[in-house]
Structure 1
């Protein structure tokens, strides 16, 4: 992000806060006219800084009341296993995020399901789909903080 100037950082921050804002409103908030602001947004998208614009939903209101963090320990670290694991998790829409980790666990998954029965079904399907050495599940009782916005520095340096 070091190659982004203050205006670019402000545009990114505004879009992370609310991607539905009209370009005119973003331009006003960042101190540009509409056309240069739109060109900067297009450039930020083309350069991969902005990767998409989505609506955020309340998982509980959609029937996904249980969030589970799953630690996976791989049986081996071969390219073949990693490729199989990547393909396996891609087939589970309930798996919202997957991270390859350093430390005690090899992978960390964030899963959203309706309830414990749905989690049990997912667990069985996942462990049938790929060999796993160890699975550790942690069940979220309450989401206390959640954001998709990164803390972009919008101060003049």
Structure 2
């Protein structure tokens, strides 16, 4: 479904589902001004088109014992396609890495890593990131506090 095919009603559906994907179809339809059947059809179309990728529960990072967020900037020795692919495959295996971005500028990747404490990060760093072939440098920064963390995209 190209962006041009997403109309205002679809955007209202997406905005509502990003706030509460657990609501009933009746409630969603009421919020967006449709009856349940056409609303459900639109949701199925958004799912089929890949606009809605999946439904998840947003878990409180601190309440599950992972209060530390570390941002690691990674520079590779070379930026050839096979090296980039190998790095991406390797980091996909580690659940501690919750976000990874291929970057422009001084560093090749920016990772967000969640751990329970500083010793846990040290262990993760030593047993994983420093052992990856082709990594030239790793620079870690620790988040002091989270000012904003939005799950919802500004679709409306």
Per the TM alignment, residue 30 of structure 1 is displaced from its structure 2 partner at its CA by 0.5
Match of 2:144 among 141, 144, 148: 141
Question: 2:134 maps to which residue?
Answer: 131
> RMSD across aligned C-alpha pairs, in angstroms?
1.0
Question: Normalising by structure 1, what TM-score?
Answer: 0.94
How many pairs does the alignment contain? 153
The correspondence of residues 59-70 of structure 1 with structure 2, limited to 5 A, is 59-70=61-72
Consecutive unaligned residues in structure 1, runs of 5 or more:
none
3-state SS in 2 of match to 1:88: helix
Structure 2: tracts of 5 or more residues without a match: none
Q: What does residue range 19-38 of structure 1 map to in structure 2 within 5 Å?
A: 19-38=21-40
- Tell me if 1:152 matches 2:146: no
Matches within 5 A, 1:19-98: 19-98=21-100
- 1:105 shift after superposition: 1.1
TM-score by length of 2: 0.94
In the TM superposition, structure 1's runs of 4+ consecutive aligned residues that sit over 6 Å from their partners are none
